Amino acid sequence: MKDLFLIDENDRVDGVDKVTGKAKYFAEYQLPGLTYGVLVTSTITKGKITAIDSKAASNAPGVLAILSHLNKPSVPAYEQEGGAKLKIFYTDEIHFNGQPIALVVADTFERATYAATLVKVSYNEAIFNTNFEASVMDSQAKKLQGQPPYKRGIENAYKTADVQVEQVYTIPIETHNPMELHGIIADWKADDKLTVYAKTQGVKSTQNTLANTFKIPAENIQVNSEFVGGGFGMALRTWPLEIATVMASKQLKKPVKLVITRNQMFTMVGNRPAAYQKIGLGATKEGKITGISHTAFGQTSTYETFTEGVVGMTKFMYDSPNVNTNYYVVPLDMGVPIWMRGPGEATGAFALESAIDEMAYALNMDPLEFRVKNDPEKDLAQNKPFSSKNVKEAYALGAEKIGWTNRKQQPGSNGDGSWKIGYGVSVGVFNAGRGKASVKGVLNTDGRLLLQSAVSDIGPGTGTAMTLIASRLMGIRVEKITFELGDSSLPPAPSQGGSSTLSTVGSAVNDLCVALKKQITELAAKVNMEANAHFTEVLQKNNLPSIEITQQSQANPEAKNYAIYSFSIHFVQVKVHQLTGVVKVSKVVSVADSGKIISPKTARSQMVGGAVGGIGMALTEEAILDHRYGKYINNNFGDYHVPVHADVPEIETIFIDKPDPIINPMGAKGMGEIALIGFSAAVANAVFNATGKRVRSLPITPDKILEA
């Protein structure tokens, strides 16, 4: 089969388009009569608008409209009870600093930007609260149950263990900062027909949200999003700013484009919420875990409750007869958070994996040995066997590659001149899901195969993976296969998030190819041809220019009997400067146990990208608020620090590459989330091994290393 491929089968099918500029992102579409929107945002954090003076802005050159709650267009869903949590331009209430309160539309972007500065707003300001940590500590502050409490065995059993660890771990707010800013182009073709070009991780989700909001048939809404410049979770929902743009287009009967600014990215499209976590861990002197307690507090908004799976990993990752978890959220006067890069599991893993490392040192045991000793044979939380799990093999492979034998148990024992060297390890885990999806296939007599699905691709190489699945099953060279996506008129597929796209849509591609081969065999028999005759000859003999099949695929019913997860083991070497406290990640080995690897090149890119994000989470990323004003003070690329090339060493990836027998026909499990989950703990653990300084509050900055 390998000889069939005349080009490298691992190359990205859209790679050339992306690097040459042929790939078109939502903001690059130029529609006839296009107009431009710029948002006016609240300068207070909580209160009510008392007046909006838009006269000067209305009289500015090129201004076509100014939308606010004073002249709100009709939005059917907003006029009903319930509906959206934040009804943009439908209230005078301010819920957070930077909340959109008006939209200026003009014939050029520059004119809209200038006119927006002329809008003057008056307020009645109210007392507000944006201080998460103070709210956690305040017994009178409002807290909501984020998930039901979980208990297995005896609650707080760690308190009676031979060896105990009890610590608090915190992470700050982290914000989405992909290069591509968020926004949308909206174009009403008629009163009940709408076309949008959107930055979305799910064109069908966007289509359904707009249909429900404006009460028109979903099939009358066309959503286009072929290329997305980084989603990371922020594009998993349709934000109020997008609804405002659609409102403006309907009122003006013109297409309207809105692209928000970099500082607006901090307030309008969610973030990883801050978290405060307390872990209690108990073990025997021989190193067997006897009890784990994990209580977490996350951040949410006052107008909408957001929750995520912060304590989920704790319930099953280690073999303990006694586990109890609890999770609360604290409402603050801030924009609502959203899932971000490994969602709550990345948050929870930092605390759990740091505590596991602390227990290993309390026992004077190698942290890797301690993890292996407590690796479970089944998911004790669900009382189900794992569909597949090769974590112990992953431990061994990664340890050899990182040079774990060079690690010294005594912190601060390894050095290179003025630098201290340390090694850390951590585990990541995420549910390996599979949903329902449909794919259309058209097989032509010229030997080409067209595949179509409404799935989005936020960068992991979805088109490449789907093409490879089809190529290997059909025996068709990759350059003869086209995968069309990001179009709501194509067969339905779920949003791209939660590391489930390959499993879900790939299964539909697999099943489609099986169906096509079956039909070819039947057509061959019909004209007395050999069953192994090439499909082009079979179609020609049957006088058919093409055959077309749409195939739906969904999860295997047997899957409910298993716990299905992807796992990662992150090994990190760091160097810490003794005088300045500067931390450099000097070597990374990430091992993925995620079933069969369909596309090694794009799989490696996922793991490398996760490690880079993990370096940011561990060492640099922190959105800082001035609680006097409830406002971000580092809402730009200059002050919000993300890793640059100098921060990132060579990253080695290892794939176990063993098919999972349960999840799908390919045996492939998701990888995007596990690339990041747990990584920050590996860095923190390596810093401790290098210095003896345990940093339990991210990011790990030099001041935290140097403080007494």
pLDDT tens digit sequence for 376-385: 999 999 999 9
Which whole number is the average pLDDT over 632-645? Answer: 96
CA dist 571 and 51 (Å) reads 57
Task: Find, among 582, 564, 566, 585, the residue nearest to 574 by Cα.
Answer: 585
pLDDT at 1: 37
pLDDT by residue (tens digit) across 240-252?
999 999 999 999 9
Quick one: tokens of 277? 């976590």
pLDDT at 129: 98
- CB of 308 closer than 8 Å to CB of 342: no
- Least confident among 67-81, 153-167, 429-443, 505-519: 67-81
pLDDT by residue (tens digit) across 398-441?
999 999 999 999 999 999 999 999 999 999 999 999 999 999 99
Task: Find, among 655, 491, 505, the residue nearest to 568 by Cα.
Answer: 655
- CB of 591 closer than 8 Å to CB of 569: yes
The reply to whether the predicted model has a pTM over 0.85 is: yes
CA dist 431 and 567 (Å) reads 9
Confidence of residue 137 (pLDDT cuts 50, 70, 90): very high
pLDDT by residue (tens digit) across 182-215?
999 999 999 999 999 999 999 999 999 999 999 9
**Interhelix angle for 679-691 vs 600-615, to 10°?**
50
Contacts of 324 (CB under 8 A, 6+ apart): 149, 150, 151, 152, 155, 156, 292, 293, 294
Confidence of residue 4 (pLDDT cuts 50, 70, 90): very low
CA dist 646 and 640 (Å) reads 16
pLDDT by residue (tens digit) across 592-616?
999 999 999 999 999 999 999 999 9
Confidence of residue 3 (pLDDT cuts 50, 70, 90): very low
Q: Any idea which residues carry the catalytic annotation? A: 673
Residue type, 475: G
CA dist 625 and 70 (Å) reads 31
pLDDT at 6: 39
Which whole number is the average pLDDT over 529-556? Answer: 96
- DSSP character for 273? P
Which whole number is the average pLDDT over 466-495? Answer: 97
CA dist 221 and 325 (Å) reads 43
- Least confident among 2-6, 103-107, 213-217, 338-342: 2-6
CATH architecture of 271-433+563-706: 2-Layer Sandwich (3.30)
33 pLDDT above the threshold of 70 = yes
475 pLDDT above the threshold of 60 = yes
31-126+177-268 and 271-433+563-706, same CATH topology? no
pLDDT by residue (tens digit) across 551-584?
999 999 999 999 999 999 999 999 999 999 999 9
pLDDT at 708: 58
DSSP E strand stretches across 485-641 = 546-553, 565-577, 583-593, 625-626, 631-632
Which whole number is the average pLDDT over 272-288? Answer: 98
Task: Find, among 141, 142, 128, the residue nearest to 45 by Cα.
Answer: 128
Distance from chain centroid for Cα 193 = 31
**Phi and psi dihedrals of 553, rounded to 5?**
-140, 145
CATH architecture of 31-126+177-268: Alpha-Beta Complex (3.90)
Helix, strand or coil, per DSSP, at residue 392: helix
pLDDT at 141: 97
CATH architecture of 435-555: 2-Layer Sandwich (3.30)
pLDDT at 270: 98
Which whole number is the average pLDDT over 347-363? Answer: 98
- Least confident among 57-66, 81-90, 654-663: 81-90
- CB of 47 closer than 8 Å to CB of 125: yes
pLDDT at 482: 98
- Whether the upstream peptide bond of residue 699 has omega within 30° of 0, thus cis, is yes
Average pLDDT value over all residues in the chain: 96
- CB of 199 closer than 8 Å to CB of 184: yes
Task: Find, among 419, 404, 281, 384, the residue nearest to 705 by Cα.
Answer: 419
pLDDT by residue (tens digit) across 78-97?
988 777 789 999 999 999 99
pLDDT at 8: 63
Task: Find, among 66, 54, 42, 55, the residue nearest to 123 by Cα.
Answer: 42
Q: Any idea where the domains of the chain sit in the sequence?
A: 31-126+177-268, 271-433+563-706, 435-555
Percent of the chain residues topping a pLDDT of 70: 98
Backbone dihedral region for residue 341 (phi beyond 0: left; psi -120 to 50: alpha; all else: beta): left
